[in-house]
Structure 1
Amino acid sequence: MKILMITGDYVEDYENMVPFQALQACGYQIDAVCPNKRKGDTIATSIHDFEGAQTYSEKRGHNFTLNADFASVKADDYAALYLPGGRAPEYLRLNPEVIAIIRAFASANKPIASICHGPQLLTAADVVRGKRVSAYPACEPEVKMAGADYVALEMDQAITDGNLVTAPAWPAHPAFLQQFMALL
């Protein structure tokens, strides 16, 4: 089963790498792509941590090597979509091709998993209206403005609504991945 992961520079390191590797370990093929980059190119990641400040801290993470070309992506070739968080969704949501891909997955009712700031892509694609959605708490206003019911969860929890799995941050990986794989 093939899963598409749309990622980009300064994606949250754990939210990029952990699901990528965990889903592969479970037998799924994950194609990690980024607009304007090709297979073999790298993206820079950032590590977000919860250290007692009013928001998360940010440190430079690893370089992550993309394993597929964004330019050749066709939603019909994939069974599901994964959208990690971090800062990448801030600029990825401005790309009309990214938005079109997300809308294609949503209209086909394929499983979509999105964590932390990843739901910024879902709100920009206007695919959360009427859904129960979690995200990093700073995303609550735009989730609500997009017509979704924002669900405040503990950082280690996730929520499924239909074909959509969302969670507030990387501490939710066990629950998040379990719920996503249940849809697969």
Structure 2
Amino acid sequence: MPTKDRSRRPWSARRIPACLAASLSLLAAGALLFEAIWGRTGHRATAWWTSLTDQLATRPLGNFWILTGAAVAAALGLWLIILALTPGLRHQLPLRVPNNSHLRMHAVLARKGAALLLRDAAMRIPGVSTVRVRVRVRRRRITVRADVGFRDTADVKDDLTDILRREKRDQLALARPPRLRVRVRRSTK
């Protein structure tokens, strides 16, 4: 029976957007609350508060500036919701960890590191040109493009696919191994 994979993508803390959003919200809410209390307690309201309340009371809802302000507020709210619901740290891939119930371990590998490991493995194949190997590691797919300097391209592709599958399985040890796509072409140089 296969064991359940407990490795998850790490979530970023997103401290800077959270602090920025909280600070702006606190500043705006604090200023509005202060002015509302200041005016209700019998003090003279400031000019910007009087102007703002007059403008909001007299402008129709179909006004350009009212609609623009609502659109900006909606876009900001949508951006904050997306930040809250997505894990972030997309440049890191989760690794397999031992399935022991008493261990709480998270291990990750940077995509660039995975691409370098696979590129080095591809360079060991006879016939692959030295300067034209491109490896792109995504969350769901690894794309390898190689130029063949000599040998038959079909033989090089078979060898390349075999070694990259072994390298992906044994060396990378990813929790969710991406699919592998190998493209080879004859070198033009």
Question: What is the TM-score normalised by the length of structure 2?
Answer: 0.20
Larger gyration radius, structure 1 or structure 2: 2
Q: Which has the higher helix share?
A: 2
Q: Which has the higher strand share?
A: 1
